[in-house]
Amino acid sequence: MITPIVRQREPATPAYAERVPFKVYTQRDIDRIEALQGLSDAQRFEMKVVSSVLPFRVNQYVIDELIDWNNIPEDAIYQLVFPQRDMLAPGHFERIAGLIRAGADKAELEAAITEVRAELNPHPADQMAMNMPLDAEGNRLDGLQHKYRETVLFFPSQGQTCHSYCSFCFRWAQFVGDKDLRIASSEATQLHDYLRAHTEVTDVLITGGDPMVMKTSHLANYLEPLLEPEFDHIQTVRIGTKALTFWPHRFLGAPDADALIELLERLVEAGKQVAIMAHYNHWKELEPEAAQAAIRRIRSTGAVIRAQGPLIAHINDDPAVWARMWQAQVRLGIVPYYMFVERDTGASRYFEVPLLRAWEIYREAMQQVSGLARTARGPSMSASPGKVEIQGVAEIAGEKVFVLRFIQARNPDWVQRPFFAKYDEHATWLDGLEPAFGERWFWQDEYDALRQEKLAAAE
């Protein structure tokens, strides 16, 4: 007879059991943020210009607990959440700044902002054109993405904001108020009907935005039906979140924190693998006691916390930062999962790092950690064909090349097959690389045909 494991839930410790008020600031509040009063009027004006194009949102916890105000603007978390002038190209910045200075009317300013946003590649990697599935009648299912065979992404409408916004976010278009750019659904039945019809799917990723801004009752409406026998093919429930950094009190003293912990427990006890896909960019995010208490509480449910995030200039383009972050994650029971390459969208011009340097940082960081931290894969580009990993630099037949492989791909047959790109010290994304030893990637013809088929079906 097998004795069932009885877990002891991590309580919300007395220090955090009381409810901490959530106070948030957006673009219209920049002049009211006390910590920014030491900046000049010109610096705050620059923030207002950039945040009129790219979304800005920060809360008091981030301001008080994560930023070293004696080290700005260099502080990593300051760069993570507060707009900087160079996040916009000079021409874009001057255009919007000029209109604001001239007192342009709302319609003229909004038209210019819309045009600038359109030039920032708001939906990279063909996610609107190729990732969104169709129903039986050929209608697009707006709140779903199904790029890889085993995994479906769901965007609940109640979770399409965050406790704070990352200044480099590749989903920034979700937050600017343009319905044409937003991916979201409030239809739980849409998700469940799709999963019933696609038994090849084993993993569901609830994403955003941040699902942890939702009330637990809303989250439960999406997840609890997956415990029915008809969804036995769904083995893993993933929840993408930055709340462990931006608002750990969500798991501690929030009004429905206990209900959230109980929901995670029910999923685990029913046999689902529950993975909290935590977004971390710097070791500083792991240091506050509230953050560590939240981690302990989640882990006590049996859920696994996996950590991922991009390598980004001004924030973590240093192997020592990654090594220290991975070491801290392992110590706290978190599994390092992915180092991503900053996507070619939004403020990428400010944050992107050449692929060569990204690989060097990854390699040097790996050399500083034990095997338990070497679970982090990367540097990985989430490009339209799939997740492309930079494995290194080699010399083959007298030619210096990048060695690449697919970690995940639109066609599973491409996965783990090595391929080669011409060495380029300046390239920052897959489309900046050229195939080595030939004119085409091994996957190019099949991908082009697949893309044409997807685009035609979406028309």
Please tell me the predicted confidence (pLDDT) of residue 439. Answer: 83
Cα distances (Å, whole numbers) of residue 188 to 19, 192, 209 = 30, 6, 17
Query: How many angstroms separate the CA atoms of 24 and 61, rounded?
Result: 9
- pTM for this prediction: 0.93
| Dihedrals phi, psi of 303, to nearest 5 degrees | -70, 150
Query: How many angstroms separate the CA atoms of 270 and 370, rounded?
Result: 33
Q: What are the structural domain ranges in the chain?
A: 21-118
Please tell me the predicted confidence (pLDDT) of residue 1. Answer: 40
Query: How many angstroms separate the CA atoms of 36 and 47, rounded?
Result: 11
Query: How many angstroms separate the CA atoms of 266 and 225, rounded?
Result: 12
Q: With a cut of 70, which residues of the chain have pLDDT below it?
A: 1-18, 125, 128, 178-184, 458-459
CB atoms under 10 Å from CB of 146, counted, come to: 20
Query: How many angstroms separate the CA atoms of 405 and 394, rounded?
Result: 14
Torsion on CA atoms 364, 368, 374, 379, rounded to nearest 10 = -20
Please tell me the predicted confidence (pLDDT) of residue 370. Answer: 96
Please tell me the predicted confidence (pLDDT) of residue 377. Answer: 96
| Dihedrals phi, psi of 339, to nearest 5 degrees | -110, 115
Total residues belonging to the chain: 459
Beta strands in 140-229 (DSSP E): 144-148, 151-154, 203-206
Please tell me the predicted confidence (pLDDT) of residue 459. Answer: 66
